[in-house]
């Protein structure tokens, strides 16, 4: 079952205008409306949120809006620029999220993310990230993911807050309570259905189809099928002529994995030649399969560095062929370098003395495409005494600056995600515990090292101003070693109260 | 008779290996630098192009901290990058650095299930550009380990399956055989008391429970130091005969 994301941009014309105007844009609290022409009348085509709160609506004649609120700010609407900007946004989504993206004018995008969500940490995180990134650049968005494009459309507009994940197979349940506007049918049809007493999509789905179709036209029937997924609704993917693309059209549909692999190798060869002419290397490749039933399947692979190595790219794509369902056959294969970067020529090491370090970029790509790039990382030191803050993740191929952790105190092999409280019998002050009980086992301490005093980082959080941890490395009678600390601030230390925690296990 | 028989067998083995075309590569080993251990291993060290298994013993079976540092010490003494595959991100990187594995050398891979972990482990072994691949695995079937062993041979890379259990009751699964060349069980032992208050160098009981073309053995060692080297415990010298296990004379 495909998974489709619908992205809804409720304030698109105004958000776009604000971004285009930059610093000279009207303040966010301005009652801004955009004005377009409908025949000879001037009507409101978009309202900002303050204006909407004041009672203005899209579709109102401008004279009426002026009568309601004399001090509104008006600007001319520019639907052509809106559509062009929406296409650019779609291109951005294509480069960052999934191979099949299409603008859904006037105010949305649709993205087929089948098999791509794991690269972004799952569906919910992917949607959250998408909405947040747009919000950071001043575009208000809502997003939903569902099994069908129709259901995602309805959920994005009437369920998402700001994101909504409709679980696989849960379409009927999710859309049943949504209003008829979620069906993508003309307003006249919605009004007609309202007159007949239908309020939600579930109401319409519950009655026999034929009389409704007879009255309101075939579109209603098709939309109902599309919401439920009984009729396929492929996304017609956006393609930019700027991107390097090669196609192969088959006279006879193909389906066997070996055949696909063979043609893939040919396409990669052609694409590499195109890239070579432009001096580029691929960072992201999309291979689209047009099946004879008019639906699309896609493979997307990414690389950590720009690559133009035919063998490596073919290998990366062929690794994923098993995810493709050829159905009754594939008639077109289309390979695009969605993201390409200049590939500089590099001199290979010529010195005989210099030690050759193996290039693992190929391995990194293979693994990253299998499990997601964010799951492959190196850990670099951070200048912080607080143990849980002393590490950070960096990209697997980041240059190695040779930095390591300073300090002579030993660190545990396993660090607990959060320190666990332990019951302790200890002599105070500044003595390690004599006994402690962790996870129900009482252990007698044979010897201990410490205390290593670690202060809180008050420049990060006010609450840490007085926080102090005294760490001890202790060994029990069995020879097991633990990292314990007594947390104390100045007052507590003097009163002799300090809570003990276990933070790690040594070897 | 037995000495000459050994020589004949060894000679035959060598000739078979030459037919195989793996003679040179197979002979490459990574010695521990501890003669007492190295002489127990065929070739005088851990075979480089092979899969080895390390697991925690006793109370350490679930946390596996000692086993992890033992593996880190071995990986630290190889050359090149090290791929470390894990399923639970509770490993504390500064400890690896203290066992000799600098942060710039370790590439971490966090898999969400064992299946993709094994696939990536195999990929890393087969690639051949890495110094060592370490993977924390809970289950390792005969078939899977055989695949890994073949991948390690093909890539000439040292693989370490760090057996890690979620519960103590899973420890029994470790008794099932795998195709790994050696299997080590690392458990913590009380350290030698220092003349002053404080904690001395950690001690491990190292059991070589399975070794292809070799015999099982047991050692008492001191934990990996900053270069990843373990040391033979000096305590054996002044241990009472009752507690010893027949190796008393060796270090006395």
- pLDDT(A71) > 60: yes
Among B93, B115, B118, B221, the residue to mutate for chain A (most A Cβ within 10 A): B93
* Complex ipTM tops 0.90: no
> Do A77 and A202 reside in the same domain of the chain?
yes
In a domain, A257, yes or no: yes
DSSP per position, A469-500: EEEEEEEETTS-EEEEEEEE-HHHHHHT--EE
Are residues B107 and A478, on separate chains, in Cβ contact within 8 Å?
no
Same structural domain, A177 and A35: yes
Judged against a pLDDT cut of 70, whether residue A322 lies above it is answered with yes
| Among candidate residues B125, B71, B126, B77, the one with its CA nearest the CA of residue B105 | B77
Looking at A238, A256, A289, which one is the last position of a domain? A238
Contacts of A82 (CB under 8 A, 6+ apart): A12, A13, A16, A106
The answer to whether residue A71 sits within a structural domain is: yes
- Which tens digit of pLDDT belongs to each residue from A182-232? 888 998 999 999 999 999 998 998 899 899 899 998 999 999 998 888 888
Which of these, A458, A454, A491, A488, lies nearest to A471 by C-alpha position? A454
Same domain, A190 and A313: no
**pLDDT in the model for residue B148:** 92
- The reported pLDDT for the residue numbered A345 is 67
A286 DSSP β-pair partners? A300, A336
**Inter-chain residue contact A379 with B104, CB threshold 8 Å:** no
Split chain B (252 residues) into runs of 10 and give each run's mean pLDDT.
Answer: 80 76 64 86 86 81 80 90 87 88 90 87 89 89 91 90 78 77 88 82 87 86 82 58 40 33
- Contacts with A, B 186-245, CB within 8 Å: 186, 188-191, 193-194, 197-200, 202-204, 223
Residue B66, helix vs strand vs coil: helix
Q: Report how far residue A25's alpha carbon sits from residue A30's, in angstroms, rounded to the nearest whole number.
A: 10
Please indicate, yes or no, whether residues A195 and A286 belong to a single structural domain of this protein: no
CB A116 within 8 A of CB A93: no
Strand arrangement of the beta sheet that strand A433-438 belongs to: A414-421, A499-505, A481-488, A468-476, A441-455, A433-438, A423-426
Lowest mean pLDDT among A350-354, A358-362, B42-46, B106-110: A350-354
pTM of the shown model: 0.75
Task: Determine the distance in angstroms separating the CA of A383 from the nearest CA of chain B, rounded to an integer.
Answer: 12
Residue A489 confidence (pLDDT): 60
Best of B56, B58, B65 to mutate (most A CBs within 10 Å, chain A): B65
Is A373 domain-assigned?
A: no
Is A387 at the interface with chain B, CB within 8 A?
yes
d(CA B31, CA B39): 9
With respect to residue A283, please indicate whether it lies within any of the assigned structural domains. Answer: yes
Distance CA A57, CA A316 (A): 51
Cα B160 from Cα B51, distance rounded (Å): 6
A229 and A310 within one domain? no
What is the per-residue pLDDT across A389-410, written as a single tens digit (0 to 9) for each?
888 888 888 888 878 887 778 8
Digit-coded pLDDT (tens) for B200-212: 888 888 889 888 8
What pLDDT, on a 0 to 100 scale, did the predictor assign at position B242?
Answer: 43
Determine contact: B90 vs chain A, CB below 8 A.
Answer: yes
Predicted pLDDT at A259:
92
Q: At B125, phi and psi to the nearest 5?
A: -65, -40
**How many structural domains comprise chain A?**
3
User: Structural domain of residue A140, as residue ranges?
Assistant: 1-238
B80 CB neighbours in chain A (<8 A) are 357-358
Higher pLDDT, B251 or A172: A172
**A418 and A453: one domain?**
yes
Count of pairs with CB atoms under 8 A, one residue in A, one in B: 164
Q: Are A358 and B80 a contacting pair at CB < 8 A?
A: yes
Average pLDDT, chain A: 85
Claim to verify: residue A17 and residue A145 sit in the same structural domain: yes
Q: Among A376, A383, A398, A479, pick the best mutation site for testing chain B contact (most B Cβ within 10 A).
A: A479
**Residue A499: inside a domain, yes or no?**
yes
Q: What's the pLDDT band for A491 if we cut at 50, 70, 90?
A: low
Domain ends where: A223, A238, A253?
A238
Is A354 contained in some domain?
no
Specify the range with the lowest mean pLDDT, choosing from A153-167, A191-205, A470-484, B17-31: B17-31
Residue A444 lies in a domain: yes
Residue given tokens 């003679």 in the structure block: B23
**Domains (range + CATH), chain B:** 28-250 (3.40.50.300)
Domain boundary among A291, A307, A342: A342
Summarised one tens digit per residue, pLDDT across range A255-314 is 899 999 999 999 999 999 999 998 898 988 999 999 998 888 888 888 888 888 888 899
Mark whether A5 and A66 lie in a shared domain.
yes
Instruction: Answer yes or no: do B102 and A404 touch at CB < 8 A.
Output: yes
CA B109 – CA B121 distance, rounded (Å): 9
pLDDT at residue A195, as a whole number: 92
B residues 153-172 closer than 8 Å to A (CB)? none
Q: How far is A404 from chain B (nearest CA, A)?
A: 6
pLDDT digits (tens, 9 = 90+) for A76-105: 888 899 999 999 999 999 888 888 899 988
Per the domain annotation, does A313 fall within a domain?
yes
Distance from CA of A480 to the nearest CA of B (A): 6
Instruction: Please tell me whether residues A182 and A62 are part of one structural domain.
Output: yes
Between strands B182-189 and B158-163, the pairing is: unpaired
Query: Could you tell me if A231 and A260 lie in one domain?
Result: no
A113 vs B23, higher pLDDT: A113
Determine the average pLDDT of the residues in A58-74: 87
Average pLDDT of the segment spanning A120-147:
90
For residues A430-434, average pLDDT: 81
Residues of B in contact with A400 (CB under 8 A): 104-105
Residues A142 and A14 in one domain: yes
> What CATH number is given to the structural domain containing A309?
3.30.1490.100
**Inter-chain touch B81–A360, beta carbons under 8 Å:** yes
Q: Which residues pair with B204 in a beta bridge?
A: B188, B221
A290 and A326, same domain (yes or no): yes
């Amino acid at each position: 079952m495909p998974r489709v994301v619908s992205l809804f941009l409720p304030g698109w014309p105004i958000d776009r205008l604000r971004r285009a105007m930059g610093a000279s844009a009207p303040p966010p609290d301005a009652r801004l409306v955009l004005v377009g022409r409908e025949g000879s009348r001037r009507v409101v085509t978009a309202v900002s949120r303050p204006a909407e709160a004041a009672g203005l609506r899209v579709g109102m004649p401008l004279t009426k809006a002026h009568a309601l609120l004399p001090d509104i700010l008006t600007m001319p609407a520019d639907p052509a620029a809106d559509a062009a900007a929406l296409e650019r946004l779609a291109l951005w989504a294509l480069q960052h999220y999934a191979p099949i993206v299409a603008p859904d004018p006037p105010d949305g995008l649709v993205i087929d993310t089948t098999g791509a969500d794991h690269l972004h940490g799952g569906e919910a995180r992917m949607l959250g990230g998408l909405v947040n990134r747009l919000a950071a650049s001043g575009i208000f968005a809502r997003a939903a993911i569902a099994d069908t494009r129709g259901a995602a459309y309805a959920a994005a507009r009437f369920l998402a807050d700001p994101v909504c994940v409709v679980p696989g197979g849960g379409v009927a349940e999710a859309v049943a309570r949504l209003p008829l506007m979620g069906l993508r049918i003309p307003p006249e049809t919605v009004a007609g259905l309202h007159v007949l007493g239908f309020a939600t999509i579930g109401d319409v789905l519950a009655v026999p189809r034929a009389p409704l179709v007879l009255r309101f036209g075939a579109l209603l029937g098709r939309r109902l099928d599309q919401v439920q997924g009984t009729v396929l609704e492929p996304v017609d993917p956006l393609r930019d002529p700027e991107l390097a693309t090669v196609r192969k059209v088959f006279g006879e549909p193909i389906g066997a994995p070996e055949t696909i692999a063979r043609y893939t190798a040919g396409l990669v060869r052609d694409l590499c030649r195109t890239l070579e002419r432009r001096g580029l290397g691929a960072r992201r490749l999309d291979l689209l399969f047009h099946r004879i039933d008019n639906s699309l399947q896609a493979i997307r692979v990414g690389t950590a560095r720009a690559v133009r190595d035919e063998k490596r790219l073919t290998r990366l794509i062929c690794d994923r062929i098993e995810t493709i369902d050829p159905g009754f056959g594939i008639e077109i294969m289309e390979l695009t370098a969605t993201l390409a970067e200049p590939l500089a020529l590099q001199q290979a090491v010529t010195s005989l003395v210099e030690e050759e370090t193996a290039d693992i970029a190929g391995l990194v790509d293979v693994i990253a495409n299998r499990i997601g790039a964010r799951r492959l990382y190196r850990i670099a030191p951070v200048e912080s005494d607080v143990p849980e803050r002393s590490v950070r993740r960096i990209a697997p191929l980041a240059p190695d600056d040779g930095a390591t952790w300073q300090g002579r105190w030993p660190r545990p092999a396993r660090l607990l995600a959060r320190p666990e409280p332990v019951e302790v019998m200890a002599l105070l002050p500044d003595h390690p515990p004599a006994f402690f009980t962790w996870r129900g086992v009482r252990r007698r301490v044979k010897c201990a090292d410490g205390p290593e005093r670690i202060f809180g980082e008050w420049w990060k959080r006010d609450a840490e101003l007085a926080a102090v941890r005294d760490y001890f490395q202790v060994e029990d009678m069995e020879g097991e070693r633990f990292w314990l600390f007594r947390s104390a601030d100045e007052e507590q230390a003097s009163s002799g109260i300090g809570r003990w925690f276990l933070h790690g296990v040594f070897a | 008779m037995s000495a000459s028989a050994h020589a004949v067998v060894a000679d035959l083995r060598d000739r078979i290996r030459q037919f195989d075309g793996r003679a040179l590569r197979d002979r490459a080993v990574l010695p521990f630098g501890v003669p007492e251990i190295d002489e127990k291993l065929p070739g005088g060290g851990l075979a480089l192009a092979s899969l080895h298994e390390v697991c925690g013993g006793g109370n350490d079976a679930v946390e596996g901290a000692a086993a992890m540092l033992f593996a880190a010490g071995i990986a630290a003494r190889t050359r090149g990058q090290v791929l470390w595959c894990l399923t639970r991100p509770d490993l504390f990187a500064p400890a690896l650095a203290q066992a000799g594995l600098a942060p710039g050398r370790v590439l971490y891979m966090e898999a969400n299930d064992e299946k993709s972990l094994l696939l990536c482990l195999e990929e890393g072994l087969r690639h051949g550009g890495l110094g060592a691949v370490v993977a924390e695995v809970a289950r390792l079937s005969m078939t899977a380990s055989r695949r890994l062993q073949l991948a390690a041979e093909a890539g000439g890379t040292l693989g370490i399956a760090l057996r890690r259990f979620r519960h103590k009751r899973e420890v029994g699964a470790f008794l099932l055989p795998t195709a790994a060349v050696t299997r080590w069980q690392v458990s913590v032992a009380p350290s030698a008391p220092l003349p002053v208050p404080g904690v001395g160098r950690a001690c491990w009981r190292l059991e070589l429970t399975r070794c292809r073309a070799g015999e099982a053995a047991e050692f008492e060692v001191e934990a990996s130091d900053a270069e990843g080297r373990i040391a033979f415990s000096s305590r054996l010298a002044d241990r009472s005969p009752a507690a010893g296990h027949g190796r008393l004379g060796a270090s006395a």
